[in-house]
Structure 1
């Protein structure tokens, strides 16, 4: 993983897609084998054996920095495999212990803490640790890439761009992935995909990075309306790594959002849910239940999601979805506004300002929502959900023409938004 912990986050593409074909894409014959077979658990079992080995080594030599560092990395990896949040916190504490004991450069340890912080969506901390790693004087290239990741999440786009421009090797995997992310932020999804495809070519023989790179291409193809390409990418990953839960979730979304095959989507998601502790699965299942007009189940799943994702141990990892639930479904506008304000203060990005504006809007303060939209959101992002919010905010403030323009633009991204939000947009256009 070696300073690439950030890679196992879902790639946040922020662009719109073209209209997609109505032809069914998913075929259960393509992926049934991954649902019917019991997972081998080989990866997790092997990892647990490694953890036990290094725990035994550490117990006999509790101040050995090498042992501590090794165990910290394994705990971070364990979180990515089983979703147990306590493992990332254990990893953090071990890295911090190693720093206290290490008489040499701590650049690599600070890098690891920065990567863990990105995983936890603690981007201010990620920036701090990356800058501490830079101050150590070595491993600067890899540290700059971690700093770039943190800066992009904090809305410091100019500094992030400067860091990318100063890199000498513009054909490396690390560079191409970041260049792709920047292109997507700038609204050029086609170029972002080209760059990510180039990045994939450089690691397709690397088992540790193949699945991440290819599945993220699957995500990006979906956002571009290339649903067949997205589906094929997920299948390619699963044929190489049958327990790649993110790819199965991607196929579940294709079944739901494109094919409208809710039974298949639920079958896949429940399979994934049985093997990884990811709160987001309940969130998607709740959306499917609402689409099926099962309001009781949808509410139950949303409350279950909220109870888990709002737990302090998850820090800010799911704040976006918590804010949306508080503002809309759970009818907790004050809680949404408090959470959105805190998030925006840490991350003054257009997307965080959108959550703040939407919270004000749902609380009934349409004028404040419009002020935020005009000053901090409009013309600064092409994220379809933000465009939907902008459309509604402008229409409710008597700017119907501008509002409808944003709503129509958002409607170009039906696959990304899903059937429920698409229906809301269509209703708003008729109002």
Structure 2
């Protein structure tokens, strides 16, 4: 996250906050909101039928299992159905068990699956095992970097980043961008992502372009470059018309920047026809809260909890659940926060613990958590916001004022509901 606040921005925020700049145009994306005849999903399902038939004839063939595990993972990406990811996991495990060679490949595949499930420690164990094999060490090192960042093992991540250094390599550049962002240098992160985008476009690699267009769109949003962010999401949709992530991010832009709740809900409703991820309910709850429709907000939050507590999701939605339970059941939030810290002890998870401690009435414990594990270690807006709340509860108004000034530059990321709370800090 950046430190971007300026006098001009503050003046604009306080003087013209009701005059939101119009960035989006529904004519740009309406064609991507069609909920029938989804080409990519149909292609995946056709591929699935072909390989499933072969697998039914001989369930010991590695090629069939490998293809099916990839197809089930793709179906998870396309539909949000967590059971598809679990089926993929089982197929990868079976492939690893019967394979006579290339064991490291299956270990990396299973680790990738575990990363998607937020099972980071288990993924790290698999990758450390894969690293013992002589081949493909760079691929393993890249994934070990990703896991180290998720686990808060930043010294190891730095070492691994040095090992994979290759200034013109796409995979190195996107990780260098992640490292720069972690260190609070958003400008450098965007520079490296733009270099990675150039590599992807020069190679005309659709998979790389899809990844970079959606991800750099997020970073442009963090930097307040909302037109660039929007156009990058449109590029994503041009390549993959049913890309649910890009559509969700456009819905956020329409809501958070333009304050058009009705249009944001229309976009979300179209996504939710074919993609069933729980967190759409959270966004709809946030929009309902902004509109003052608190019964609808409560309904959407309950739908999220009901869906996210499916055991198959494991810890995937713990951070969201902690935020919700901190308001309604702080003791439950505390237990979940402790579990999440055991899963990955990062400044971002510790700030959730502090928030739960604060809501449970343990303001001194919350302050200790912030001072020891969060302050000066992250620039993420949610962490700064929760830190400000903790400081306020402990009467530390000077620190609150400093964070408030910085948070005013992050209201797009936090949304209109939090923006009002920031003003009241």
Answer whether TM exceeds 0.5 for this pair. yes
1:337 maps to which of 331, 334, 358:
334
- Secondary structure of 1:260's aligned partner: coil
Partner residue, 1:6: none
Shift of 1:357: 0.7
Partner residue, 1:24: 22
8 Å Cα contact 1:39-1:243 kept in structure 2: no
Distance across 2 between alignment mates of 1:50 and 1:350: 42
Whether 1:144 and 2:117 are equivalent positions in the alignment is no
Distance across 2 between alignment mates of 1:39 and 1:160: 43
Distance across 1 between alignment mates of 2:165 and 2:372: 36
Whether 1:191 and 2:188 are equivalent positions in the alignment is yes
Alignment of 1:262-411 (within 5 A): 262-328=261-327, 331-411=328-408
Moved more, 213-222 or 128-137: 128-137
Render the CA deviation track for 1:383-417: whole Å, top value 9, x for unaligned. 11111111111121121111221122112101000
Shift of 1:361: 0.3
Distance across 1 between alignment mates of 2:88 and 2:240: 25
Instruction: Name the CA shift for 1:401/1:314 in 2 (closer, same or farther; >3 Å).
Output: same
Shift of 1:126: 1.4
Distance across 2 between alignment mates of 1:15 and 1:112: 34
Distance across 2 between alignment mates of 1:415 and 1:71: 40
Distance across 1 between alignment mates of 2:308 and 2:154: 29
Distance across 1 between alignment mates of 2:195 and 2:184: 19
Runs of at least 5 residues in structure 2 that lack an aligned partner in the other structure: 14-19
Distance across 1 between alignment mates of 2:187 and 2:165: 24
8 Å Cα contact 1:16-1:383 kept in structure 2: no
8 Å Cα contact 1:16-1:224 kept in structure 2: no
Q: How many residues align?
A: 412
Shift of 1:169: 2.4
Partner residue, 1:227: 226
Alignment of 1:173-252 (within 5 A): 173-204=170-201, 205-252=204-251
8 Å Cα contact 2:388-2:404 kept in structure 1: yes
- Secondary structure of 2:412's aligned partner: helix
Distance across 1 between alignment mates of 2:265 and 2:245: 15
Distance across 2 between alignment mates of 1:69 and 1:419: 45
Distance across 2 between alignment mates of 1:310 and 1:206: 37
Partner residue, 1:417: 414
Moved more, 260-269 or 406-415: 406-415
Whether 1:156 and 2:135 are equivalent positions in the alignment is no
8 Å Cα contact 1:395-1:404 kept in structure 2: no
Instruction: Name the CA shift for 1:38/1:386 in 2 (closer, same or farther; >3 Å).
Output: closer
8 Å Cα contact 2:35-2:270 kept in structure 1: no
Alignment of 1:66-105 (within 5 A): 66-105=63-102
Distance across 1 between alignment mates of 2:39 and 2:264: 26
Distance across 2 between alignment mates of 1:281 and 1:269: 7
Whether 1:34 and 2:32 are equivalent positions in the alignment is yes
Distance across 2 between alignment mates of 1:17 and 1:177: 22
Whether 1:258 and 2:257 are equivalent positions in the alignment is yes
Distance across 2 between alignment mates of 1:259 and 1:304: 26
Shift of 1:325: 0.3
Distance across 2 between alignment mates of 1:395 and 1:282: 30
Shift of 1:275: 1.4
Distance across 2 between alignment mates of 1:38 and 1:402: 48
Distance across 2 between alignment mates of 1:190 and 1:163: 22
Shift of 1:51: 1.5
TM-score, with normalisation over the residues of structure 2?
0.94
Distance across 1 between alignment mates of 2:237 and 2:40: 14
Distance across 2 between alignment mates of 1:73 and 1:135: 25
Distance across 1 between alignment mates of 2:263 and 2:55: 46
Distance across 2 between alignment mates of 1:124 and 1:170: 29
